[in-house]
Amino acid sequence: MIKTKLSMLVASSLLCGSFQALAMHPQPDPDNAGAYLLSREEVQQAEKDKTLNPMYAVWANALKTASNAVVDQITIGASTNPANVKRVERVFGQMEWDFLTQMAAPEYTYERFLKAVGKFPAFCGDYTDGRNADAICKKSIVTAFAHFSQETGGHIAKDNVSDNPQGLEEWQQALVHVREMGWKEGQAGYTTGCGQDDWQNRRWPCKAGEGYFGRGAKQLSYHFNYGAFSEAMFDGDATVLLNNPGLVADSWLNLASAIWFFLTPQAPKPAMLHVIDRTWVPSARELNANIGHGFGTTINIINGGIECGEQNRTKGQPVNRIRYWEGLANYYAIPIETDEENTCWQQTPYGSLNLNGATDVLYTNWEGDWGYYADRPGGYSFECKLVGYQTAYSALVPGDYEKCVTNFYKSHANWPTVTVVDSIKPPKEEPPVGGVAAWNAEKAYSKGDKVSFNNQLFQAKWWTKGEQPGVQWGPWEVVAE
């Protein structure tokens, strides 16, 4: 097994634990009573300090996308095709595609597959550390087809001559369905949660009358997944696919959605690519739960709660996936390392694995840090922290940390109003009232202390620091001179 320089660096830095962010210095907003200003430099530094582990850069790089103008120019055999597309054409050409898609819906074509690959340069991309990029590419495609065969396959027995006159293996029956069975365009559905006043709808608002049922090779479902995928495909614009989800069935997006899923970690789950190319290093807790390298872990990533664990050992879905993988891997002579397991019945499903507080597991979503900070106004942190569940803000989406700090999607109840600015002007000098010094945002005050502010005299009702006088329900009350 090749243990890469990156994997050793990831492992060693995980053992060092988390990194402490720099102190924040929120200042009262002179134009908005009770609100605060934060320096963009401090916010960006805090984000950087929380994502120092090199794996964050690996994840972000894997999710970089080419422009759709480049994708539109990709055609079979074109000399101008991106390097990763040319690699796919070399290791998995049109003949291989045709061999595995003899039952496929006509919406799935080899050219659309190449366009989907071209959108994500990291899929079948290069390696500079000695790993065999061609072999990893082929293994990635074969892994994807094993899952396609389960998710959208025909599942027709080879000896069923009436329905399968060609006698195709079940692992040759991928991509039969482009839409979830029983659903059609123009049919509203899968709208659970649509229209509610919550952060999911503020970020990914449903369009009335649209259905967010399963479409494409991975059967993308629900508005929050359509919205997030749309942002990745259309330069941050969630509305394109929320308003027209049918594109995920009728264009190259039907395959791009599967590659996007393949490259996206669902913390604490790793990205499927990094399980296959071994960039991912299992944590101690994962190893104790028998989660390591191999096809079995990709099942756990996709649907571990339903398909992994001893209780699901003989269940149809995982048994099918494993049969399809083993058939494909054997046909394409994919080497299986000695530490790789094809099954996941021996694994704890990720949803049942308690990783709270683990210092050797990385998370990819931001949430408001509700810790108490005595040196900051109201004890608020004015920071966000990484958590292992879905939130409105991703650590892999540029700009999301600042949105989290400013509570952009109103997901943090009772969070102070925060504006991030490039520079904070020093507060203007306040004239003293009755000889009492002006309030100082950097100074701590005890109960009974007095200050001057806006030509009025205020007295502290309790200990306070950084909380501006004159705010309703605040720590200050007006007193006579």
pLDDT of res. 327:
97
* Single residue among 253, 280, 307 that ends a domain in this structure: 280
Per-residue pLDDT tens for 331-387? 999 999 999 999 999 999 998 987 766 777 889 999 999 998 887 888 899 999 998
Lowest mean pLDDT among 213-227, 237-251, 319-333, 451-465: 451-465
Other beta carbons within 10 angstroms of residue 327's beta carbon come to 16
Same domain assignment for residues 148 and 28:
no
* 302 inside domain: no
The total number of structural domains that make up the chain? 3
Helices 295-307 and 133-151, axial angle in degrees (round to 10): 20
Give the residue-averaged pLDDT of 47-69.
Answer: 94
Residue 318, preceding peptide bond in cis (omega within 30° of 0): no
pLDDT, mean of residues 401-414: 96
For residues 72 and 214, membership in a common domain is answered with yes
Pair (393, 276) in one structural domain: no
Please name every residue paired with 185 in a beta bridge, in sequence order, or none if there are none. none
Question: Do 396 and 471 lie in a common domain?
Answer: no
Among the candidates 224, 254, 280, a domain finishes at 280
Q: Does pLDDT of 13 surpass 80?
A: no
Tokens 């006509």 -> residue = 106
What residues are paired with 456 via a beta bridge?
A: 453
Report the C-alpha gap between 60 and 45 in whole angstroms. Answer: 17
Catalytic site positions = 151
pLDDT grade for 481, boundaries at 50, 70 and 90: low
Give the residue numbers spanning the domain of 460. 429-481
* % of the chain residues with pLDDT over 70: 94
Q: What pLDDT digit, counting tens, does each position of 286-340 carry?
A: 999 999 999 999 999 999 999 999 999 999 999 999 999 999 999 999 999 999 9
pLDDT of residue 466: 80
Is residue 23 domain-shared with residue 121, that is, in the same domain? no
Spatial separation of the C-alpha atoms in residues 253 and 268, rounded to whole Å: 26
